[in-house]
Amino acid sequence: MSTPSQIAETIHANGHDVILLHNEVLIAPFCGRVLAVGPAGGENAIWTNPAFEAGDTTEALLSGEGWLNHGGDRIWVSPEMETHIEDPARMFETYAVASEVDPGSYVVTSQDDDAVTIRSTGAPLFKQSRRRVDLDWEQRIACMHRPAELNDTVAFAGYRTSTTLRASDFAPTQPALWRLLQVPGGGTITVTTKPGTSPLTLFGKPALTETDDGLTCKVDTDEFYKFAIDHRDATGVMRYRRDGDTESDLIIRKFTTVPGAVYSDVPNFDLEKRGYVVQIYVDDGGFGGFGELEHHSPALHGDKTEVIDICETEVYRGPASEIDRLCQPQA
């Protein structure tokens, strides 16, 4: 593993500009991502493509063609069946990431010691609706302060994103922001949910366990899978924990759900089944052995031409006993 500073140096040496906030949060405008997060400037806690750990492999990745999985925390646009998939009946065979969205055409519009704002525009093809939609999205990434009550044995890094999606003529596509945070294998994802939640299997065979405050799954599987949670069952919190020999990492992802909003992402087997806000993907190693904590914003629809997604990502590293305490369900 590398630190955000080391990853920044490797990328910069290969001709790409990056922005490092407080030596902890690495932003890569060339692909529109928060690419690494290291509590107290230490090793990166989120999944970043291992190619960035060496100069020659970094060069090979950055010069590659087609969609490149840099890792980190990225912005896509949903519904997935519109923006990524030509034929829902052959989802994996016809899957393609729109270059207008990823890597996009990001520019830095403002920057200071604590925050940076990046903006992109594009007109991706919405494949089921057979039309291109002019979209404009902007994201402000700001470092969060260390919680005052945090034990001194725990290192912390966090960032808050405010992302705005705009369009003036989008019917009937119902575009929305789609946020995806990649986490390394070997840990456990928890989605906090309301009692009685029934997840929707999107593909594969999710290996889920019920807990006091939600559903958990290990980021370790021989068969990839994905499941979804309806916005009426979600609480707006996801966690990822990974234990090491001497210390543990905890990532807490917080976002806002809006009661009564239109959530437009749908499964490939039922294009009318809307309402799902959280999705969890666990890779089998074929793409890197990571997990993804995903959520969607409400969609643009009717006369709603702008939507804003607010998300906080807190990263803690410390003794397992302190991480245990931070994982306790909140009253």
Q: Which CATH number fits domain 66-326: 3.30.70, 2.70.98, 2.60.40, 3.30.230?
A: 2.70.98
Q: Taking 70 as the threshold, does the pLDDT of residue 146 lie above it?
A: yes
pLDDT in the model for residue 170: 95
pLDDT in the model for residue 212: 87
Range 119-128 average pLDDT: 97
The answer to which of 150-154, 295-299, 324-328 has the lowest mean pLDDT is: 324-328
- Please, is 288 exposed, middle or buried when counting C-beta atoms within 10 Å of its C-beta (0-12, 13-18, 19+)? middle
Q: Global pTM?
A: 0.96
The phi and psi torsions of 89 (rounded to 5 degrees) equal: -75, -15
From CA 211, how far away is CA 213, in angstroms rounded?
5
Q: Which position has the token pair 């060069």?
A: 59
Range 127-149 average pLDDT: 97
From CA 244, how far away is CA 93, in angstroms rounded?
38
| Length of the chain measured in residues | 331
pLDDT in the model for residue 330: 59
Question: What do you get for the CA distance between the two ends of the chain, in Å?
Answer: 35
Tokens of 115: 């925050």
Range 137-155 average pLDDT: 97
Percent of all residues in the chain with a pLDDT value above 90, rounded to a whole number: 92
85-121 pLDDT, tens digit per residue, is 999 999 999 999 999 999 999 999 999 999 999 999 9
Q: Taking 70 as the threshold, does the pLDDT of residue 331 lie above it?
A: no
pLDDT in the model for residue 55: 83
Q: Taking 60 as the threshold, does the pLDDT of residue 135 lie above it?
A: yes
9-52 pLDDT, tens digit per residue, is 999 999 999 999 999 999 999 999 999 999 999 999 999 999 99
**CA distance to 80, 130, 218, per residue, from 170 (Å):** 15, 12, 38
The answer to which of 80-84, 189-193, 201-205, 221-225 has the lowest mean pLDDT is: 221-225
266-315 pLDDT, tens digit per residue, is 999 999 999 999 999 999 988 889 999 999 999 999 999 999 999 999 99
53 or 121: which carries more pLDDT confidence? 121
Compute the mean pLDDT over every residue in the chain, rounded to the nearest whole number. 95
In the chain, the amino acid numbered 222 is: D
226-235 pLDDT, tens digit per residue, is 999 999 999 9
